[in-house]
Structures are given as C-alpha cells and as structure tokens.
C-alpha cells in the first residue's frame, strides 16, 4: 500500500465485511434478531421476544446451557454426521422447530414457509394449534416429518376434533402442551394491548360465530388420564411438553406418553422457573428404564435458550434425543421466509456437527453423559 497504514487486527477479532449491513458469514442469532426487530411492528416483536413477569426465566435460559462444559475425546479420527430418529422417524438433524403461534405476523406465508424451511433442512417440524394456517394446510406444505401441538382450548369436542384431524392429516405425533392451564402474565403484551393484526386468523380455532357460549367455552384443565385418551382419539403417539420434574415425567409415561419434552415455554408462563438445561438431567434420570406404549425406550426432548451447536451438544449429552428452536426460527422466518428458517436450522446443525467432530463424536448415538461436566454460572 502507498500512503496508507494497514491496521493489524487484534487476536480473535473477526474481520468486518465490506458491506457492514450484510449478514455475517456465520450463524449470528443476535444479529438476526436485531434485523428482525427492524422489520416487525414493535408490538409483534415484543410478542415473539417477550416473557412472563420480570423475564428472569427468559434471560436465564440461554445462560443455563453455559453452566456445563464439554469434555472432548481425542484421537478418534471421526467426521460427525447428525442424522437420527425421533419416535422412529428418520431426520437429518436432532435440531427441530418448536411450535410457536401466529407465524403470518412474521411473514405472509407463515407456517407454510416454516414448513418448507424445515423440509429443506431435513428437520422435524412441530406445528402450533395457534397457527394462522390450518392443520391440513401446513401438512400439505411440508415434505418433512411433522408433529402437531395441542392446547386445551374452546370446547373439549373441538379439541378432540383437532386431535383427530392431526392424525388424519399425516402428522407423526401429538404434542400436548401442559404448562398453560392459564396464560402467563406477559407484561410486554399487556402494555401493548396486543391483539392479532387485522386480516389474520387463528385458523385452527372455531370461527367466532361457531363458538359456544362463554360458559360452555371454558375447557376444564387436562389430567393424566387425558394423555392416553388423546393417543386413542388421534391414533398417534403422544409427547407431553412442558415437563420440568422427574416425578411428573414418570407419571406422564405411565399414563401413556411415548416421550416427554422438557420446556419452560420460552419463559412465557412461570417466571423464576428452573431452566431446561438444569431440569433435563432429572427428567432423563427419572424415565430411564420406563417404556413407551410400543415397548421402546422413552425419548426426552428439550427446548429453551438453545442458541449454538455447543448448546445442542450439551443437551444431547444430558440425555435429550433432540432440541427444538422457537425464537431463532421466528427471526429466520421474519428475515428470509422459508430460506431464513432453513438457514437457521442448517446453520445450527452445521455448528453441532463441527463441535461433535472437535469432541471426537461421530453421531448423536455416540453422545454419552461423560461428554459434559457441570461448571458454574457465567455472565454469557
């Protein structure tokens, strides 16, 4: 160079792209969230991003995965692959899409785009009851295995009908979300007086004119007996989502669940709740030796604050069969539609494969508990 002095980069400094507005050349979920914030109505962003109460549980969820440390194996000569099975269904990755509501607020194609993105990544998709497209429409849009998530809502008859429709539409499992007997107090939504934007609909809910009178509209809370009953109604294996205790996990399995899903509902229900990263070992230990209705081992899944491939590998080492992403797929959908969702899933799966290779692990089946050790609270 002539007349100029080239600045030497500090050790570990990532070079800035020529275009500072361009996405980084790696999966940067913080950057993706900020880009999504700029594209969404502020009330919609708060609906997706916010949590219950003081949002302590929301903030702690990602940090909790960092309280574990990996113990790499060396001289294994492996290059990792991520293919696995979930309830017997083959998938390309143990990173799936968690159910989240009202996706057409993020992108005009909503759940249809998310379904296409999940299929492109070879990932399992879990579709929310509170979708803006019907059970059948989303099933027809995806070439990827899908599960349907069910809430107790409106009348028991309508909820049972949704379960039947999920079975008829080809979903592979029914996911009962059981941590929502009442809606969490989400201060951002209360402050914004949040409502579904005009022109969008809750496609799986009855039309207003078809809803029963208010007194008949109140569904009683589910009990353990409903687990087996919904398996019969839908003809599908049942996954119970929202489990944070070992004794609850065992009770769900003994009531007919094929799998349990460790989840704090994205920090949107109970504030100060134990993070999934800390609840997971107790749940895995409790169901060890229990059998699913088909005689197989009980599978355990987790969500809540998984943001990197290292987080996902920690979860697998703690006994999760798979992890599911909520907000990261919302930001991907907002910024890039189906391609954005696929980018998040393939990006995090790539990080997982890379970390597995560095840790001497060839496949998810080879991940064992001795790959992690408990560390301590961290500021990041």
Can you tell me the distance from the alpha carbon of 200 to that of 372, in angstroms, rounded to the nearest whole number? 45
* Residue 105 DSSP one-character state: G
- Lookup result for tokens 């002095």: 5
Binding site annotation covers 268? Answer: yes
Q: Tell me the pairing of strands 372-374 and 68-70.
A: antiparallel
The token duo for 362 is 């060839």
Residue 327 counted as an annotated binding residue? yes
Annotated ligand binding at 263? The verdict is: yes
- DSSP assignment of 245-302: -HHHHHHHHHTT-SEEEE--GGGTSSTTPPPHHHHHHHHHHHHTT-B-TTSSBPEEEE
- Of the residues 133, 154, 265, 354, only one is catalytic, namely 265
Measured in residues, the chain has a length of: 380
Cβ atoms 117, 342 nearer than 8 A: yes
100 known ligand binder: yes
The verdict on whether residue 241 carries a ligand-binding annotation is yes
Give CA–CA dist 91/152, Å, rounded: 29
Asked whether residue 304 is marked as a ligand-binding residue, the answer is: yes
Would the annotation count 113 as a binding residue? no
Q: Binding residue per annotation — 229?
A: no
158 tagged catalytic: no
The answer to whether 191 is a known ligand-binding residue is: no
Q: Is 52 left (phi over 0), alpha (psi -120 to 50) or beta?
A: beta
Is 149 annotated to bind a ligand? Reply is: yes
Does 128 belong to an annotated binding site? yes
In the DSSP assignment, the letter for residue 307 is -
Enumerate the known binding-site residues.
47, 99-101, 128, 149, 151, 177, 186, 241, 263, 265, 268, 303-307, 326-327
Report the catalytic residues. 265
Enumerate the known binding-site residues for FMN.
99-101, 128, 149, 177, 241, 303-307, 326-327
Enumerate the known binding-site residues for glyoxylate.
47, 151, 186, 263, 265, 268
């Amino acid at each position: 160079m002539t007349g100029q002095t080239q600045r030497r980069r500090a050790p570990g400094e990532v070079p800035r792209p020529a275009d500072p507005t361009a996405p980084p050349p790696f999966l940067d979920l913080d950057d993706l969230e900020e880009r999504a914030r700029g594209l969404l109505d502020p009330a919609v962003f708060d609906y997706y991003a916010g949590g219950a109460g003081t949002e302590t549980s929301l903030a702690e969820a990602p940090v909790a995965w960092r309280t574990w440390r990996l113990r790499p194996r060396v001289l294994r000569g492996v290059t990792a692959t991520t293919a696995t099975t979930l309830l017997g269904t083959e998938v390309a990755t143990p990173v799936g899409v968690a159910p989240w509501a009202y996706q057409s607020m993020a992108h005009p194609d909503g759940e249809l785009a998310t379904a296409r993105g999940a299929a492109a990544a070879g990932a399992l998709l879990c579709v929310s009851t509170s979708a803006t497209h019907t059970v059948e429409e989303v099933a027809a849009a995806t070439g990827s295995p899908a599960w349907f998530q069910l809430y107790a809502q409106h009348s028991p008859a309508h909820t049972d009908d949704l379960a039947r429709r999920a079975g008829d539409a080809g979903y592979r499992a029914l996911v009962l979300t059981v941590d929502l007997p009442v809606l969490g107090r989400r201060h951002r939504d209360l402050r914004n007086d949040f409502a579904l934007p005009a022109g969008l609909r809750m496609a799986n809910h009855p039309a207003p004119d078809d809803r029963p009178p208010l007194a008949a509209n109140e569904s009683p809370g589910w009990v353990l007996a409903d687990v087996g009953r919904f398996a019969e109604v839908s003809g599908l294996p049942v996954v119970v989502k929202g489990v944070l205790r070992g004794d609850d996990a065992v009770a769900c399995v003994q009531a007919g669940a094929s799998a349990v899903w460790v989840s704090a509902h994205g920090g949107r229900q109970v504030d100060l709740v134990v993070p999934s990263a800390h609840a997971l070992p107790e749940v895995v230990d409790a169901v060890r030796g229990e059998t699913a209705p088909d005689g197989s081992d009980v599978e355990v899944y987790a969500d809540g604050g998984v943001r990197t491939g290292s987080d996902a590998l920690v979860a697998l080492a703690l006994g999760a069969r798979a992890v599911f992403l909520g907000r990261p797929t919302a930001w991907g959908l907002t910024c890039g539609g189906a391609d954005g969702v696929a980018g998040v899933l393939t990006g995090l799966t790539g990080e997982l494969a890379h970390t597995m290779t560095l840790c001497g692990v060839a496949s998810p089946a080879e991940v064992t508990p001795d790959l992690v050790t408990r560390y301590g609270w961290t500021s990041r």
